[in-house]
Chain A
Amino acid sequence: MFYREAGDFKTSYRDDGQTFPIRLDRWGYYAVLAVAFLVVPFVIDSYWANAVLVPFLIYAIAAIGLNILTGYAGQVSLGTGGFMAVGAYAVYKLMTAFPGVPIVIHIVLAGAITAIVGVLFGLPSLRIKGFYLAVATLAAQFFLVWLFNKVPWFYNYSASGQITAPERTILGWAVTGPATTASAKYLICLTFAVVLAWIARNLTRGMVGRKWMAIRDMDIAAEIIGVNPLTAKLSAFAVSSFFVGIAGALLFSVYLGAAEASEAFGINKSFLVLFMIIIGGLGSIFGSFAGAAFLVLLPVLLKNLLVVQLGWPTDLAAHIELMIVGALIIFFLIVEPHGLARLWALTKEKLRLWPFPH
């Protein structure tokens, strides 16, 4: 009864294959987009932007990126933090070298540079699989962070090795630098997240995505039916790194404003994004958003609940928070190993039949 599907007929294959086949879902999606673009920017304050929504959107982009590689193409990667660092340092070098070029172009170019680096580190995937590939990408993680710490050219020879984002504007609105308003920060991240999620969705249900999934499910069978593993795997690495690079560029330039490689893009970041897609759901765009929301919002929520509302000491709250998040991860993995996306799909299935489940 929640979904009133009576009269919702599909008369073409195109209609049948759309992302939101149920009319109510589609309206819900448009409504969410409308609220996100037209309402939220006017009510958002800097706390909501900086502590909640901007990190959520940026991690969602990174999670979509990793999901393409791991969830769709089946190549396990622990190098997400390193690739985010490539995006961040690329956008920093571009911003400081070509101050006249619009920042959006820089961010996209940073993604492209990360894609090239991703392809390079993806080459071993042609020979090694599974855990061994994970170790190879782990090497990428450590190598890249080491490189950005070691070579002063990457941080423009600054004394501390920190990179700091100068102010850049879009149509006169500052989107990087300290003068950025909360809504500008939010809107640029939202635009990137929506456009990239749309691209990812359409890639994964087209021929490219089917090739990735064929490789994931059984690479020898895929090869036999004519999928070229070289192009399929490397394209997965390229697209995934492109997304992750853009997330890194946004994380540095819009969200943090200043960063250093080992602190902001360490191995913890790789694990965080990996946990996001595992909890959210492997091979699902919605799952990437859900996982990012879960791991970004939950700590903030718990902290506010325990420290601000209940008045607990901060250290006790921080430790309890780790335990609760950990316990919830285990709980979710036991109850629903396919992640929040699957949980959502089941709920939707039930809601469609409710109140007549038989």
Chain B
Amino acid sequence: MKLKLATVAFGALMAAGPAMADLVVPNLSYRTGPYGANGTQYADGFNDYFTLLNERDGGIGGEKVQTPECETAYNTEKGVECYESTKGSGALVYNPLSTGITYQLIPKVSADKIPLYTPGYGRTSAKNGKVFEWVFNAPANYWDGASVAVKYLLDQNGGDLNGKKIALVYHNSAYGKEPIRTLQELSKKHGFTLTELPIDPPGQEQKSQWLQIRRDKPDYVIMWGWGVMNQTAIQEAANIRFPMENFIGIWWSGSEVDVKPVGEAANGYKALTFHGVGMDYPIYDDMKKFVIEPGKASQGGPHVGSVLYSRGMYAAVVIAEAIKKAQELSGTSAITAAQLRDGFEALDITPARLAELGLPDFGPEIKMTCDNHGGSGMSRVQQWDAAAGKWNLITDFTEPDQEILTPLITEDSEAFAKEAGITPRC
């Protein structure tokens, strides 16, 4: 009996890998904890796109795609455990949806030679492919986001932000601290004053920060929040009657779950985004036919078409395109992680290709090269319409201020290269 129990325990500790024949794209998701409401939708979109490819096209290049899920709860230690338990199964690429976990994984994937794709999050300077050979963060990163937000504010003010006050409300973690450097540089360039207001994770407690905003009366508030912090912040802003149209969130602070709990008061809240939203895209015809109606949608499909669902799907689209590219380049359909890296580096998703995929004008053009792993960095602003219950895109794709960003990225990635002993490539 004892032996039997020990065998069961041993078997349970050993992670059984899936069949090696398929393409394995692990989905390090989080559906529990303070960030679960957001993580669930992203994971669903990610799964559903691969289900669609499997059902409609029989996979990519004839190879089915598996997305084994692993729950990280947005916790770095669990993220590491998930990485270790899935990498043995022939994992091709990781997309952990957590800046903290990304920082953990960057050295590990570089040693294990597996690509890491972090669209819109992670380490900004990973854009520099010369240093970060295995990390890709197209189409946009945090510094792009910060710059596009300031650019939008410049547009609103006739090109002059001199003497304006901007407050940054941020998640006090690696994620929230990312934009500070850029915003400081931009404040020097454009002459606005920047107030930094950290909020300790998970972020249910932010009364004092909003009292400070009430006292200081900044002209604009920019937010880097995630999970429950978003809803709380928008609620607090509504409580102090901060004008919602002057409150701009990064793309992670702009989904339905963030604004809906606040109700009418959230009307006019703005957020950045680097992709389209809603179900008015031709891809959803196929999605309905092959995934939703046969009941194959992840979790039954309660979030189809939401902002974060779209973002998860978009990440899956880019990964699928990179796999396709890698198959073309290597001439084999059962590609390896190293071949996928080459696929990412040669990736070019043109607007025509997006339209072909059923997602016309969904995202910016993504073109990656050996030294540019971050794409163009373009993003746009969307605004919440509480009455209609939907996000409306209010600007076109805007280019960030590369004049400020490029030297910062070079500086940060070179510091990393020095610390880690990397000789730049290309």
A317 to B175, CA, bound (A): 27
Say yes or no: A178 contacts B76, CB within 8 Å: no
Q: Mark B1-45, 1 if CB is under 8 A from A, else 0.
A: 000000001011111100000000000010110001000100000
Give the dominant DSSP class at B's interface: helix
Say yes or no: A262 contacts B201, CB within 8 Å: yes
Q: Which stretch (A107-115, A118-126, A237-245, A307-315) binds chain B?
A: A307-315
Q: Is B81 an interface residue (CB 8 A)?
A: yes
Say yes or no: A304 contacts B12, CB within 8 Å: yes
Say yes or no: A47 contacts B104, CB within 8 Å: no
Contacting residue for A177 out of B16, B88, B100, B107, CB 8 A: B107
A275 to B172, CA, bound (A): 27
A181 to B2, CA, bound (A): 33
A315 to B88, CA, bound (A): 22
Q: In the assembled complex, which residues on chain A have CB atoms less than 8 Å from the CB atom of B77?
A: 55, 256, 264
Say yes or no: B84 contacts A149, CB within 8 Å: no
Q: Mark A171-193, 1 if CB is under 8 A from B, else 0.
A: 00000011100000000000000
Q: In the assembled complex, which residues on chain B have CB atoms less than 8 Å from the CB atom of A256?
A: 76-77, 80, 104
Q: In the assembled complex, which residues on chain B have CB atoms less than 8 Å from the CB atom of A255?
A: 80
Q: In the assembled complex, which residues on chain A have CB atoms less than 8 Å from the CB atom of B419?
A: 96, 164, 166
A313 to B27, CA, bound (A): 12
Say yes or no: A305 contacts B104, CB within 8 Å: no
Q: Is A151 an interface residue (CB 8 A)?
A: no
Say yes or no: A50 contacts B84, CB within 8 Å: yes
Give B86's nearest chain A residue, CB to CB: A47
Give B179's nearest chain A residue, CB to CB: A159
Say yes or no: A258 contacts B103, CB within 8 Å: yes
Contacting residue for A263 out of B16, B100, B181, CB 8 A: B100
Q: In the assembled complex, which residues on chain A have CB atoms less than 8 Å from the CB atom of B198?
A: 149
Q: How many Å from the CB of A331 to the closest CB on chain B?
A: 17
Within 8 A of A (CB), among B217-252: none
A50 to B76, CA, bound (A): 12
A162 to B125, CA, bound (A): 14
Say yes or no: A314 contacts B108, CB within 8 Å: no
- Please give the number of chain B residues whose Cβ is less than 8 angstroms from any Cβ of chain A in the complex: 54
A86 to B185, CA, bound (A): 32
For chain A, the bracket of interface size reads 35 or more
Give B18's nearest chain A residue, CB to CB: A308
Q: In the assembled complex, which residues on chain B have CB atoms less than 8 Å from the CB atom of A305?
A: 12
- Given contacts A47-B84, A50-B84, A314-B71, A262 and B177 within 8 Å (CB-CB): no
Give A303's nearest chain B residue, CB to CB: B71
Contacting residue for B177 out of A159, A309, A315, A317, CB 8 A: A159
- Residue pairs across A and B with CB atoms within 8 Å: the count is 129
Q: Is A229 an interface residue (CB 8 A)?
A: no
Interface centre among B32, B75, B124, B181, by most chain A C-beta atoms within 10 angstroms, is B32
Q: Is A22 an interface residue (CB 8 A)?
A: no
Say yes or no: A50 contacts B421, CB within 8 Å: no
Q: In the assembled complex, which residues on chain B have CB atoms less than 8 Å from the CB atom of A304?
A: 12-15, 85
Q: In the assembled complex, which residues on chain B have CB atoms less than 8 Å from the CB atom of A46?
A: 84, 87
Q: Is A330 an interface residue (CB 8 A)?
A: no
Q: In the assembled complex, which residues on chain B have CB atoms less than 8 Å from the CB atom of A47?
A: 15, 84-85, 88
Q: In the assembled complex, which residues on chain A have CB atoms less than 8 Å from the CB atom of B85?
A: 47, 51, 304
Q: Is B174 an interface residue (CB 8 A)?
A: yes
Q: Is B371 an interface residue (CB 8 A)?
A: no
Say yes or no: A308 contacts B16, CB within 8 Å: yes
A256 to B73, CA, bound (A): 16
A178 to B107, CA, bound (A): 5
Within 8 A of A (CB), among B297-348: 299
Say yes or no: B177 contacts A258, CB within 8 Å: no
A302 to B13, CA, bound (A): 8
Say yes or no: B180 contacts A308, CB within 8 Å: no
Say yes or no: B200 contacts A308, CB within 8 Å: no
Give A159's nearest chain B residue, CB to CB: B181
Q: Is A222 an interface residue (CB 8 A)?
A: no
A166 to B417, CA, bound (A): 11
Interface centre among A177, A262, A264, A297, by most chain B C-beta atoms within 10 angstroms, is A262
A11 to B40, CA, bound (A): 67
- Given contacts A47-B85, A50-B81, A257-B108, A315 and B173 within 8 Å (CB-CB): no
Hey, which bits of chain B sit against chain A, CB under 8 A?
A: 9, 11-16, 29, 31-32, 36, 40, 69-71, 73, 75-77, 80-81, 84-85, 87-88, 99-100, 103-104, 106-108, 110-111, 123-125, 172-175, 177-178, 180-181, 198, 200-201, 299, 412, 415, 419-421
A-B CB contact pairs (8 Å), 5 listed: A161-B173, A264-B77, A300-B81, A304-B13, A308-B12
Beyond the given A160-B174, A260-B173, A318-B31, could you list 19 further A-B residue pairs with CB under 8 A, ordered by the A residue number? A51-B80, A55-B77, A159-B178, A160-B178, A161-B173, A162-B103, A178-B107, A256-B80, A262-B173, A263-B75, A300-B13, A300-B81, A305-B12, A307-B69, A308-B12, A308-B15, A314-B31, A318-B71, A319-B32
